[in-house]
Amino acid sequence: MTTANAERKPGHPHRVVVVGGGFGGLLAVRGLRRAPVEVTLVDRNNYHLFQPLLYQVATGALAPGEIASPLRGILKRQDNARVVLAAVSEIDVERRRVLLDRSANEDQDIELEYDTLVVAAGASHAYFGHDEWQPLAPGMKTIEDAIEIRGRILTAFEAAELESDPERRQAWLTFVVVGAGPTGVEMAGQIAEIANDTLPRDFANVDPRSARILLIEAADRVLTSFPERLSARAFRSIERLGVTPVLDRSVVDLDDHSVTIQATDGERDERSGGEPSGRDTISAHTIIWAAGVRASGLAAALGEATGAAVDRAGRVSVGPDLTLPGHPELFAIGDMVEVHDADGRPQHLPGVAPTAMQEGRYVAKVIAGRLDGAEPEPFRYVDKGNVATIGRLKAVMDIKGVRLSGTIAWLGYLFIHLFYLIGLENRVLVFIRWIVSFVTRGRGSRLITGRRAEVGDRTPT
């Protein structure tokens, strides 16, 4: 057993361990830069990932390195912070230790001691009891997911090009996106743009414009987190791009060449405008999951260790100061928590980057304040609004009651994403890429990677 900071003597600075270098964790670390503490940031990846632009990697518009920044680079000027590359496997709340796994040196048994712990491990996909669907319909949470989806989309067009049977070709050219929240709408819109704008002249035998893109949604409208009027506009915009939204339908089965959907309320409904209704099986090889979110397993582990409630999405309950009950030294923030007010009522904060960032800043303030003997004010979430893009010059935006759609909303979307992207270099690169893509309608990162070159493997060298 290695205790990574066991050599510290009494009188050492207050030790803060932060698990997760995403939006919440990174803002907590940065917020502590002037505090008299020693911060250790642990992440299973060596980079901070800007998840809101993952769909652009999945559709070849951006390269992975343009939406991710190395954590060591981000924190290199913060003298009181260090970075550890490892996955946290367990938290021993009684002994105040974090147990690490998959560390860079493959030591299986490293522990980190803490005086204060901030857990910001985020969330992953939820398949509503059908985890076996995951390899068939990948979701998008990591760079690896985005590269996998990019490969599947591009491979589908390549397969269609080689397919002589019309039915089988159509199955390759059918793309199903499950879930019409912001990620699903963005993905479906981008696939339509690839098919209609980027690829038409690339293929000899197949017309990519004949691709069918279905956006399946269990609710009765797309973008349910937006006001109805903006939802309706997004619906029309996405239809104009060539996507078929299929509302009130839930996925009930899927395999590697089809997906079966059924009316959410079990009845046939005319609203799907002639597209699959009732119970239908659609032949499709490319299915993308954008339907559900499940908190990191560390949330349930914290719930078990502290007695805090864990909800159906796997989120652990934290109090108004974002600590676990009976553990003022233990904070949890971001996508993995449900915040409760002083009366125990859930706050239902949205699972978005601004929530995690505000929580990260808040815990840094509380930790630094406590060292000066200050009592924390409860966390107060400031709603920064909601924005989602649909495609070229098309977006919807709802900021403090100002509801916009079309080009202005789209420009607003681009500005906000550039503003929050970490690192000047990435901002400049992404800005240039967007201009080039806008002008040429091209996508510079249309690579299929990770395929074994079977023929090449057999070719004598």
Q: Which residues are catalytic?
A: 186
Rg (C-alpha) for the chain, rounded Å, is 23
- Reference 316, options 333, 329, 299, 292; nearest CA is 299
Interatomic CA distance for residues 302 and 92, integer angstroms: 9
Residues 6+ apart with CB under 8 A from 335: 24, 122, 123, 293, 295, 296, 315, 351, 356
Q: Pull the structure tokens for residue 140.
A: 């998008």
Distance from CA of residue 415 to its chain's centroid? Answer: 19
Q: Is 31 in the site for ligand FAD (CB under 6 A)?
A: no
- CB 307 to ligand FAD: min, Å: 21
352 near ligand FAD (CB under 6 A)? yes
Q: How far is the CB of 185 from ligand FAD (least distance, A)?
A: 11
Does the CA dihedral 447-450-452-453 come out positive or negative? positive
Query: What is the distance between the alpha carbons of residues 226 and 387, in angstroms, rounded to a whole number?
Result: 9
Among 17, 18, 19, 81, binds ligand FAD (CB under 6 A): 19
Query: What track of x and - describes contact with ligand FAD for positions 291 through 330 (by CB under 6 A)?
Result: -----x-x--------------------------------
Neighbours of 41 (CB within 10 A): 28
Q: Of 1-9, 15-23, 30-38, 205-213, which part binds ligand FAD (CB under 6 A)? A: 15-23
Q: Could you give the string, one character per residue 97-126, with x where binding to ligand FAD holds by CB under 6 A and - elsewhere?
A: -----------------------xxx----
Contacts to ligand FAD from residues 61-90, by CB under 6 A: 87-88
For ligand FAD, the closer of residues 24 and 412 by Cβ is: 24
Work out which of 140, 143, 188, 339 binds ligand FAD, going by CB under 6 A: 140
3-state helix, strand, coil in the chain (%, to 5): 35, 25, 40
Q: Are 330 and 306 in contact (CB under 8 A)?
A: yes
356 binds ligand FAD (CB under 6 A): yes
List the one residue from 31, 138, 184, 351 that touches ligand FAD (CB under 6 A): 351
Could you tell me the smallest distance in angstroms from the CB atom of residue 397 to ligand FAD?
11
Task: Compute the distance between CA of residue 41 and CA of residue 43 in angstroms, rounded to an integer.
Answer: 7
Rounded-to-integer distance, Cα 370 and Cα 322, Å: 14
**Residue 59 lies near ligand FAD (rule: CB under 6 A):** no
Q: How far is the CB of 271 from ligand FAD (least distance, A)?
A: 27
Exactly one of 23, 157, 235, 331 binds ligand FAD (CB under 6 A); that residue is 23
Q: Is 44 among the residues that bind ligand FAD (CB under 6 A)?
A: yes
Q: Determine the straight-line distance between the first and last CA of the chain, rounded to whole angstroms.
A: 47
- Binding span for ligand FAD by CB under 6 A among 19-27, 156-164, 204-212, 312-320: 19-27
List the structure tokens of 119. Answer: 């857990």
State yes or no: residue 242 binds ligand FAD (CB under 6 A): no
CB of 216 to ligand FAD, least distance (A): 17
Report, in Å, the least distance between residue 123 CB and ligand FAD. 6
> What residue is closest to ligand FAD based on CB?
22
177 touches 290 (CB < 8 A)? yes
- Please enumerate in sequence order all residues whose Cβ is within 8 A of that of 169, keeping only pairs 6 or more positions apart, or say none: 160, 163, 206
- Does the protein bind ligand FAD through residue 91 (CB under 6 A)? no
Binding to ligand FAD by residue 334, rule CB under 6 A? yes
Is residue 370 at the binding interface for ligand FAD, with CB under 6 A as the rule?
A: no
Interaction between residue 421 and ligand FAD (CB under 6 A): no
Of the pair 183, 237, the CB lying nearest ligand FAD is at 183
Taking the complex as a whole, how short is the minimal distance between the CB of residue 401 and ligand FAD, in angstroms?
A: 19
H helices of 281-406, in order, are: 297-306, 353-371
Q: 86 with 254: CB under 8 angstroms?
A: no
Q: Is 20 in the site for ligand FAD (CB under 6 A)?
A: yes
Residue 25 interacting with ligand FAD (CB under 6 A): yes
Tell me if 43 contacts ligand FAD by CB under 6 A.
Answer: yes
Question: For every residue of 78-106, which 3-state class applies, written as one string?
Answer: CCCEEEEECEEEEEECCCCEEEEECCCCC
Residue numbers of the site for ligand FAD (CB under 6 A)?
A: 19-25, 42-45, 51-52, 54-55, 87-88, 120-122, 140-141, 182-183, 296, 298, 334-335, 351-354, 356
